[in-house]
Amino acid sequence: MTTFTRQISIWVCTGILLAVWLSFSMPSSAAAQDITVSEQSFGCILDWPKVRNTRFKHEDPAKLKEAMRIFRESEPDKEYPVGTILQLVPFEAMVKHPRETFPKSNGWEFFALEVSEAGTKIRDRGDDHVVNLLLGASCQSCHQPAAKFDFVCEKGHGCAPLSIDDQTIAELQKADLRWTKK
């Protein structure tokens, strides 16, 4: 083999190895499809459909329907679609990102919100430090027992019970200051 042929072989092999390495090190397509969440992502939860007490939002109607089905059927070992927003009360929310974005919570980002007639202000956000106002503990610590249900708490999912009942949840939802149809 000539020196020239050997150099070409080395370059070709190096190129192949580089291409293989890049394909494994690049973010997955799910990570590339992450969503941007801003204060405008949240509106009056009375405008959102609900299953039992939980309100749902997703920009894609098919994914909204899928998220509501997963919740309605309490389907274990099933991930909610990226972009799903869940709210039980107006001042707290959780938003589904690709699992790589928030690996400690399987992709869920928790939000503490301030709501007023003018709109929504994000007070705090993240995966493991945001505090649930109803329980006085981090959202992550409360949702961790529901890992089998993609970290979504509901009765029977292993989460600690809330300090408020269904009637109080309904009253808090009806008191959403962003509601314009009063």
pLDDT digits (tens, 9 = 90+) for 75-101: 999 999 999 999 999 999 999 999 999
CA distances to 9, 16, 94 from 132, in Å? 60, 50, 11
Q: What is the pLDDT of residue 51?
A: 97
| Single-letter residue type at 116 | S
Q: Where are the domains of the chain?
A: 1-28, 33-174
**Among 138, 148, 136, 135, residue whose Cα is nearest residue 111:** 138
The mean pLDDT of 135-164, rounded to a whole number, is 88
29: pLDDT confidence band, cut at 50, 70 and 90?
very low
Instruction: Give 155's pLDDT tier (boundaries 50, 70, 90).
Output: confident
| Percent of the chain topping pLDDT 90 | 64
Three-class SS state of 17? helix
pLDDT at 18 over 70: no
CB-based contact 84:96 (threshold 8 Å)? yes
Q: Are 58 and 64 in contact (CB under 8 A)?
A: yes
